């Protein structure tokens, strides 16, 4: 980028370049004469007014061309793969729920599910209706397979559905989520306030939210595909068991916090295997 308008072949058509005796591989030095003037035809200034603003550069014949990497702000620097990625990727604002989905103690399959849920990309019935999948009659007959009432959606499943609400109320009692009700907006409000927290209680709460939504979604899919049904207590125990297993591999900074968490989740120290 030797000038703001370069490369000039993006401005001047190939036909005019060829008619003037140049080609697409012609360099800047090739179009400067010995007196330091442009060699291109005078008519080009009328055809391509941008050329009027381009002054003849001072070329040092003893210097060699070199490649210089510039970042997204145009600042030259060392070539790094991280800089390349930041340049070519599509950059958006940091999602307020990102730390709720991806954190070091997360359960990967639960995290991926939460990522879809926060983006509202789960294949719920309300989204299928927008896609116009199936006949209109079949769409009108759709209802939540958990409570058999109303068409399921993300906000309905987590956790306004009667079945989901019962599961949620059972598992949220295990952690400090008493102020979070059965609405998705209430969960989002908690996430925005605590998702970045390093507190062990908030980390366990994030595990509970992710596990609850994951197993409710799993139960919903099982009822649609196999017609098998679990009770509220069974699903709640699956949530608790999943979180309990994850807690057994935690590295606690304070022994008092470990004792308190283990007592609340009924974990015996004899059952814990040292992850180191």
pTM: 0.68
Average pLDDT of the residues in 91-112: 91
CA 11, 16, 48, 76 torsion-angle sign: positive
Residues 238-264 pLDDT 10s: 999 999 999 998 888 888 888 999 999
Residue 116 pLDDT more than 70?
yes
- Predicted pLDDT at 273: 53
Q: Is 79 helix (H, G, I), strand (E, B) or coil?
A: coil
Residue 178 pLDDT more than 90?
no
Percent of the residues in the chain that have a pLDDT greater than 90, as a whole number: 47
Residues 123-152 pLDDT 10s: 998 887 766 655 554 555 578 899 988 888
The CA distance from 107 to 183, in Å, is 23
pLDDT band at 107 (very low <50, low <70, confident <90, very high): very high
Residues 47-69 pLDDT 10s: 888 888 888 888 766 767 778 88
Average pLDDT of the residues in 24-52: 88
- Predicted pLDDT at 134: 54
- Predicted pLDDT at 239: 96
Average pLDDT, the chain: 86
The CA distance from 30 to 184, in Å, is 66
The CA distance from 146 to 157, in Å, is 9
The CA distance from 151 to 161, in Å, is 10
Cβ distance 211 to 239 under 8 Å? yes
- Predicted pLDDT at 275: 47
- Predicted pLDDT at 136: 53
The number of beta carbons lying within 10 Å of the beta carbon of residue 32 is 17
Residues 183-227 pLDDT 10s: 999 999 999 999 899 999 999 999 999 999 999 999 999 998 887
Strands 69-70 and 76-77: antiparallel
The CA distance from 189 to 96, in Å, is 10
């Amino acid at each position: 980028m030797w000038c703001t308008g370069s490369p000039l072949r993006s401005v001047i058509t190939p036909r005019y370049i060829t008619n003037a005796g140049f080609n697409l591989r012609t360099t800047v030095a090739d179009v400067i004469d010995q007196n330091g003037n442009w060699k291109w035809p005078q008519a080009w200034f009328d055809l391509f007014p941008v050329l009027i603003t381009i002054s003849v550069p001072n070329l040092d014949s003893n210097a060699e061309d070199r490649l210089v990497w510039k970042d997204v702000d145009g600042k030259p620097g060392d070539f790094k793969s991280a800089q390349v990625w930041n340049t070519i990727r599509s950059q958006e604002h940091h999602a307020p729920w990102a730390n709720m989905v991806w954190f070091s103690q997360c359960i990967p399959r639960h995290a991926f599910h939460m990522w879809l849920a926060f983006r509202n990309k789960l294949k719920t019935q309300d989204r299928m209706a927008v896609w116009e999948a199936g006949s209109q009659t079949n769409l009108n007959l759709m209802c939540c397979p958990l409570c058999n009432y109303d068409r399921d959606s993300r906000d309905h499943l987590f956790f306004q559905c009667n079945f989901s609400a019962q599961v949620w109320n059972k598992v949220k009692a295990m952690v400090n989520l008493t102020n979070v009700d059965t609405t998705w907006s209430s969960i989002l409000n908690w996430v925005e306030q605590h998702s970045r927290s390093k507190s062990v209680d908030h980390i366990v709460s994030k595990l509970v939210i992710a596990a609850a939504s994951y197993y409710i979604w799993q139960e919903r899919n099982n009822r649609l595909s196999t017609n098998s049904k679990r009770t509220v207590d069974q699903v709640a125990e699956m949530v608790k068991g999943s979180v309990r297993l994850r807690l057994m591999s935690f590295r606690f900074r304070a022994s008092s916090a470990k004792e308190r968490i283990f007592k609340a989740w009924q974990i015996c120290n004899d059952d814990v295997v040292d992850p180191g």
